[in-house]
Amino acid sequence: MKYLIHTLLLLLSLSFTLGAQTDRREVRAGNRKFKKEAFKEAEIDYRKAVVKDSLSVAGNYNLGSALYRQQDWEGAGKALERVKDIAPSTENAARWHYNSGDVALQKKDYATAVKAFREALLLTPDDLDAKENYIYAKLMLQNQQNGGGGDQQNQDQQNNDQNQDQQQDQQDQNQDQQQNQDQNQDQQDQNQDQQEQEQKISPQQAQQMLQAIQAKEKETQDKVKKEKAEALKSRQKEKNW
């Protein structure tokens, strides 16, 4: 069985309600660079915003997004963690929970991921991405608790499935080859049996065959003699004429 992994990228927030005005310029500058996928440059602007206001929801949230895009899971998690007491009470609480779950998935902290996606679904029940990630995180948590090792188990299972498929294909090929060999051998055996039957003729059969040949020869000789007699008779008639 193969598991379908849904690990979605973090969402970019452009509409957080800012509690302070000091970080607004830096956040906007970072957002413009983020949209151009200049994530490292955007990270610098978001850090400037956080320096001005360490509890800036927009600054920390989008800093987490920029770090996530650079695959800095630890940094992204720390940025979101700084506003854990503020973000859940804002209008963007569902996004914060969702993004926290995505970071936890990357860190293979499946228990935290399950909790985060559950909170996101309580706020936005129609979020299909959150549902898929919640189901996936829950499944991975179960595997982890059962000693399955999460992603490693999936990879091992996929490798086992692939090896089994290859082995089955090889067996099928060998079986087809063996069937072809058996068919060829059967044909050879039939031909050999036929040859042996033709070679092994009893004395009685040989006598019958000889008599048949002799009878055929006699019939041919009689026919020739008859034709000669008729030709001679025809010539005699012509002389009488």
- Amino acid (one-letter) located at 49: A
In a domain, 232, yes or no: yes
Structural domain of 212? 200-241
Average pLDDT (43-68) is 91
CA angle 97, 27, 125 (to 5 degrees): 20
Q: Which residue has the higher pLDDT, 143 or 224?
A: 143
DSSP single-letter state for residue 20: -
At 169, is the pLDDT very low, low, confident or very high (cuts 50, 70, 90)? low
Residues composing the chain: 241
* Tokens representing residue 176 in the block: 């087809």
For the ranges 22-26, 85-89, 164-168, the maximum mean pLDDT occurs at: 85-89
In a domain, 182, yes or no: no
Domain harbouring 97, CATH code: 1.25.40.10
For the ranges 16-25, 125-134, 165-174, the maximum mean pLDDT occurs at: 125-134
Given 133, 149, 165, the domain boundary residue is 149
Given 149, 166, 192, the domain boundary residue is 149
102 and 42 in a common domain:
yes
pLDDT at position 185 is 73
In a domain, 162, yes or no: no
Q: Are 27 and 58 in contact (CB under 8 A)?
A: yes
211 and 141 in a common domain:
no
Number of domains in the chain: 2
* Tokens representing residue 128 in the block: 């299909």
Residue 22 has pLDDT above 80, yes or no: no
pLDDT at position 238 is 45
In a domain, 226, yes or no: yes
**Least trusted range by pLDDT, from 5-9, 12-16, 31-35, 118-122:** 5-9
Average pLDDT (47-66) is 90
In a domain, 159, yes or no: no
Q: Which residue has the higher pLDDT, 92 or 170?
A: 92
Average pLDDT (195-224) is 71
At 234, is the pLDDT very low, low, confident or very high (cuts 50, 70, 90)? low
3 three-state secondary structure:
coil
118 and 32 in a common domain:
yes
Q: Which residue has the higher pLDDT, 124 or 198?
A: 124
At 203, is the pLDDT very low, low, confident or very high (cuts 50, 70, 90)? confident
